[in-house]
Amino acid sequence: MSDDVMQIDREEENEFAEKLRAAGPLNLAVEHNIFLPGMEATYVKILVDEIPQGPPQIIPKLFRSIRCGREDFKEGRKIWDLSFLNSSLFPVRKVEPPNDLFATCGGPFIHVYRLSRPLADTFETLHIYVNTIQDDDLYTLSWGLLNDGEPILACAGKQGIILLINVYTYSLVGHHLVGHKNAIHQLKFAPGNSAFLLSASEDLSIRLWNILTFTQVAIFAGDLGHKHGVLTIDWHSTENIFASGGRDGAVKIWKITDELKNAMDESMTWNQNFMNNGANIPCARTPFRTKMIFEPEFSTNRVHKSYVDCVKFYGNLIYSKGQEGCIVVWKPHPERNPDSVTVLFTLNFPRNSEIGLRFTIDYEQDLLVLGGTESNCYLFDLTWESTEFREIKNALHTFRSPVRSAGFTADSSKMVYITDDCFVHLLQKI
């Protein structure tokens, strides 16, 4: 375990290490699938996928390169984020086949791609959207749906303004979402209700938006919030809680309280009566009464001592990545102390100082991929009885550039990752 990671009781650490060798990450995650702070008392624990039956795998899953293409490259431009549209989360209509769409963003550009049919062995550009906001650099995007089933992309970046783009008509939807005072680092639609969008910002706040009525429903910030920029957020699948991580090294769990749920319901029918001001900028004449949430349900600085740039739920466990050269798998343990945690195991990879290299877990929760700094990825098979990684390099690409993000198709048969030098890489499972 890294020196920067919280030192837990040595006897307990050895116990977890022995269990991991015997069971593997997935099995251990199921065993320690606990209630999280902020969950409803009547909530039935959510489980990750069932433990696979049969003999253990000898070799973890691998991918091979099958295509590499480059976006418009201008000096200083990077591709910051990538995301697949997953129809398993939303009832996508009007786009066929929905699981073959993915999008990237960086600089002023948003590219929407589709994997080719029938073999999906290459990809084609469906549309390129050019952001007209001056001096903006788009860092993050997230897929959602409009009421009629048309897919929507929420995108944001340096200027802290959220754009909403209808991917069926390739047009802007309604009004920009304005409220953050600094850059937005990550956006996340609620997993089962894409009317609601979370945004994490350098201005120390997380905000909850209703994208159908363009209302700012809640702001999560204050003395007990993040002390430095918020870099990452993730919804729990129940939508009752979400996690955040930031430059202050803290990971926090926030609760969607009953009062906030009532505000979310109220926002669905709220009319802000937009009218252009003297500068021809739409302004709400009857703005929504935004809720202020000052206190998280749980907060800890015991897992990481540097920034936290990626956090995700895995069942009821938390995977988080800092600068220490590992992804830490842990669970809150507030019964001991308000900020106590239990570290179950770590996924180790070569240490690097790059900020914003995020990991992705596939829809089946079997695979985890993390970007490296030399146009490479580290692949962890969460069903395998080991925390060893396999390094993946695209044989079609000889440059060396950081990989900011990666994504999987719904069946995990294909993987796409992006590099800072504006290349898009397609790989196939073998």
Q: What is the pLDDT of residues 414-428, one digit of tens each?
A: 899 999 888 998 988
In a domain, 218, yes or no: yes
Averaged over 392-398, what is the pLDDT? 71
What CA–CA distance (Å, rounded) separates 76 from 97? 34
CATH number, domain with residue 417: 2.130.10.10
Torsion of CA 275, 277, 280, 282, to 10 degrees: -40
Torsion of CA 62, 64, 69, 73, to 10 degrees: 50
Comparing 295 with 324, the larger pLDDT belongs to: 295
pTM assigned to the model: 0.86
Pairing between β-strand 215-220 and β-strand 291-293 as defined by DSSP bridges: parallel
Residue 393 has pLDDT above 90, yes or no: no
User: What 8-state DSSP symbol labels residue 135?
Assistant: T
In a domain, 2, yes or no: no
Nearest partner of 320 among 238, 205, 234, judged by Cα: 234
- Range name among 2-16, 368-382, 411-425 with the lowest pLDDT average: 2-16
For residue 3, the model assigns a pLDDT of 45
In a domain, 4, yes or no: no
> Where residue 364 falls among pLDDT bands split at 50, 70, 90?
confident
Residue 166 has pLDDT above 50, yes or no: yes
In a domain, 356, yes or no: yes
In a domain, 210, yes or no: yes
Angle made by CA atoms 202, 189, 286, in degrees to the nearest 5: 75
Of these ranges, 9-13, 22-26, 62-66, 418-422, the one predicted with the greatest mean pLDDT is 418-422
What CA–CA distance (Å, rounded) separates 355 from 351? 11
Number of domains forming the structure of the chain? 1
In a domain, 5, yes or no: no
259 SS3 class? helix
- Range name among 10-19, 242-251, 335-344 with the lowest pLDDT average: 10-19
CA-CA distances (angstroms) from residue 193 to 32, 148, 239, 261, 297? 28, 13, 9, 13, 22
Averaged over 125-142, what is the pLDDT? 94
For residue 59, the model assigns a pLDDT of 42
- Please state the φ and ψ torsions of residue 127, each to the nearest 5 degrees: -160, 150
For residue 325, the model assigns a pLDDT of 76
- Domain around 206: 10-429
* Each residue's pLDDT tens digit, 286-299: 789 999 999 999 99
In a domain, 3, yes or no: no
For residue 353, the model assigns a pLDDT of 67
Q: Contact 166/173 with Cβ under 8 angstroms?
A: yes
Residue 369 has pLDDT above 70, yes or no: yes
Q: What is the mean pLDDT of the chain?
A: 83
In a domain, 205, yes or no: yes
Residue 43 has pLDDT above 90, yes or no: no
